[in-house]
Amino acid sequence: MKNKLFYITALSLLICTGCKQNDLPTNAVTTASLTTTPDGLLNAVNGAYALFKDHVSFEGTTDDNNMYLRQYFQMSDFASDDVVCAQITTDPLFLAFSLGFTPTQTNASYFWYISYKIISDANTVIEAGSKISSPTAAQQQLIGECYFLRAFCHFNLVRFFAEPYTINPDAPGIILRTSTTDPSSKARSSVKEVYAQIIADGIKAASLMNAPRGKTYASKEAAEALLSRVSLYEGDNTSTITYSNAVINSGNFTESTADAYKTLFSNAPANPETIFCIAFTTLDDYGKFGSIASQYYSNGNSGWGEEYASQPLRTLYAQNPSDVRSSYIVDLVDSTGTQQYKNGIPIYYVTKFSFQGGSPTLSSPVMFRLSEMYLNKAEAEAKLGQTAAALADVDMIRKNRGLSGALYNGTVPSNTTLLDVVLKERRLELAFEADRTFTVYRNKMNMDKTYWGYHLQGLQASDINLSVAPANYPNMIIPYTSTKIIYYIPQAEILSNPLATQNP
């Protein structure tokens, strides 16, 4: 990354050499350097945050496509029914659409590597902090941030590379790394064990972070938001409500109004709804090559613009034309108003990762925001049969999205269920935010991708008839019991770590 003020010192501390999978992520940061060097802890922690957005050398090369957040959003959302692919490509992102996962695919392998690098750097700071006899509030904050980062990265790893907790908590999870002295050969912990560690780290993080540094860094509320999400995925409805309420009742965040929502993602650090986002500046604008936005949007030359909002998602938004959430979906038409297509697929760009500072390829991606806390709480309440409370939380969001005339007001519509209402709202609110795929499968639902797009194996543009639904293509319905819902453990890890087992 270019010319980051906070990264100048950290460069010497966080060198990534070679990035071969059989090497543990760098332990170049030493506890001695962190406790004896002025701003040692600060620089190391800030360097760990930078790894979410840096293009780090991997397997001897630096690839514009390799960035934690780019993989995070693509590997999750491109496998969902919210996004449609308008062409076949050799980019490994296509494997999320086609479910053609392999043990050697670059995007998953890089995500695995860089996640453990962040975890290793967090471990080093945590261990250094344990040697400080009387840490200041500022030092405790930094140590707490590292507990959060360790929990956050472990959680994302277990979601991508292991079965959902609600399906099989005893299934092989991921490799827990909680010490810089962990042996390179280590077995996968169970999903249940991984969740237990994540929750312990989240609780510890929340207890330490009492000197917040702003929304572009972890905070007590960010840790509680993570605990809310983890508890929901675990099926612990009571804890989900408890942690969601802790964030909601902190008084530090408010729901974006309908007008403010339109600029939430282009101005995330300043939006009152944002709990935690990863800061990108103009120096971090990768443009067409390597940004998250470049796949979703193009102003003609700013991006590839090859992945669009899917027909099923657009149909949901169309049920309420006043819903401001559809403002992030941009229909491409020519000067005469004629719909534009790519390979037979109508072009509906997505702009949730665009327009910070006016740039079509820049944003500070949101990791946690207040609306999710209401939705987590509502889902837990629905599963506990608390109808009035769940619908009140859903309506809290809807009235701030231009839907004051379409509130539920305590009544579940006929021919649907309370949980269906909540999950529909979750889809509308959190589309393209790395949520949909995980939500479908953890709720033991099947993914329905019965719409035109190049996720349909063998599709030709001449086959497309938008007036009817596609039929007789494989992988249109993906059951939650399928082995295709999770990624393979990277082959390099399997080869270098004889104790690690592969996913089926």
Tens digit of each residue's pLDDT (9 = 90 or more) over 135-160: 999 999 999 999 999 999 999 999 99
Task: Express as a percent the part of the chain with pLDDT over 70.
Answer: 92
Task: Identify the DSSP state of 91.
Answer: S
Backbone φ and ψ of 334, nearest 5°: -85, -170
| 414 Cβ neighbours under 8 A, 6+ residues apart | none
* Long-range contacts at 299-306 (CB < 8 A, ≥ 24 apart): 299/360, 302/360, 302/361, 303/360, 303/361, 305/342, 305/347, 305/349, 306/85, 306/86, 306/87, 306/89, 306/342
pLDDT of residue 114: 98
| Average pLDDT of the chain, as a whole number | 93
pLDDT of residue 235: 98
pLDDT band at 35 (very low <50, low <70, confident <90, very high): low
Of 3-12, 100-109, 342-351, 452-461, give the lowest mean pLDDT range: 3-12
The number of C-alpha atoms within 13 Å of 409 and in the hemisphere containing its C-beta is 5
pLDDT of residue 13: 35
Tens-digit pLDDT profile for residues 427-486: 999 999 999 999 999 999 999 999 999 999 999 999 999 999 999 999 899 999 999 999
Is the distance from CB of 83 to CB of 309 less than 8 angstroms?
Answer: yes
Tens-digit pLDDT profile for residues 334-387: 999 999 999 999 999 999 999 999 999 999 999 999 999 999 999 999 999 999
Is the distance from CB of 503 to CB of 487 less than 8 angstroms?
Answer: yes
For 260-287, what is the mean pLDDT? 97
Q: How far apart are CA 328 and CA 371, in angstroms?
A: 16
What does pTM read for this prediction?
0.93
pLDDT of residue 390: 98
Tens-digit pLDDT profile for residues 22-34: 333 333 445 556 7
Calculate helix-pair angle for 387-398, 370-383, nearest 10 degrees.
160
Tens-digit pLDDT profile for residues 40-68: 899 999 999 999 999 999 999 999 999 99
For 416-422, what is the mean pLDDT? 98
> Which residue reads 């050969």 in tokens?
185
Task: Express as a percent the part of the chain with pLDDT over 90.
Answer: 92
Tens-digit pLDDT profile for residues 288-323: 999 999 999 999 999 999 999 999 999 999 999 999
